Amino acid sequence: MSLAGKVAVVTGAARGLGRAITLKLATDGAAVSAWDLNSEGAEETAAIVRERGGQALACGGNSAKRDDIAAALAATHAGLGKVSILVNNAALSPFCKFEELTEELWDDLMAINLKGPFLCCKAIIPDMLEGGWGRIINISSSSAQTGSARQTHYSASKAGVIGFTKSLAMEYATRGITVNNVPPGFVNTEGLQESPVDVDAFAPLTPMKRSGRPESIAAAVAFLASEDADYITGHTLSVNGGRYLN
């Protein structure tokens, strides 16, 4: 599944799923722009790509801020060219009891998890329309499919990502752009390790009785970004070890 000649943007690329996705797309031949608020981590990701012989650059900034997106896109255009693949991965996944969930916490999370993909799509879709080819892959969450206690705001935001994906897919289905989403489930990243979830205790309760690997999510994203997936759009490709069956 060669992505040679394609330019990809991956948000939230400093670590975890974003880093794994960046490395996989680069391995498949894409030039990748790694975006993250953590500019140092984004540069580390890009450096790994370059050390492996790939082409990558890093852009620091908030992918939920229009001005930051514009600056990162300008740098990407200057360094790599027009964008044909967008992976909206940047997100927060906090835990909070509903009684303690404030309007400010709700708004802040929606801005990052839902408004961010909207703004990135608004900025980058013109590149895809100009080139007559595009792939948008949004990272949602199995928590949007199953629900998750103490994550009402997070689950709601990721359910919004799924609805956003389906609607955008319908709008651009005849214009060379596919739009799909991948909801990870219980994947062992730094974020999971930092959460209140007891990974070792929860793993035996899952069908595969283990946590997932970031590389499995990256492989699904790379497939959806490829020519092999040219007749797949509006799809939710669950990668969750059987946590949610659809």
Domain count, the chain: 1
| Domain boundaries, position 218 | 7-229
Which CATH number covers residue 202?
Answer: 3.40.50.720
Q: Is residue 1 part of a domain?
A: no
Catalytic pick from 154, 172, 231, 244?
A: 154
Q: Is residue 240 part of a domain?
A: no
pLDDT, greater one: 242 or 246: 242
Q: Is residue 246 part of a domain?
A: no
* Tokens of residue 179, six digits: 């739009």
Q: Is residue 194 part of a domain?
A: yes
- Model confidence over 39-70: pLDDT tens digits? 999 999 999 999 999 999 999 999 999 999 99
Q: Residue 85: which pLDDT band, with cuts at 50, 70 and 90?
A: very high
Residue 125 has pLDDT above 70, yes or no: yes
Q: Is residue 104 part of a domain?
A: yes
Q: Residue 211: which pLDDT band, with cuts at 50, 70 and 90?
A: confident
Q: Is residue 74 part of a domain?
A: yes
Q: Is 154 among the residues known to form the active site? A: yes
pLDDT at position 201 is 78
* Tokens of residue 1, six digits: 């599944």
Q: Which residues contact 67 (CB under 8 A, 6 or more apart)?
A: none
Torsion of CA 214, 215, 218, 219, to 10 degrees: -140
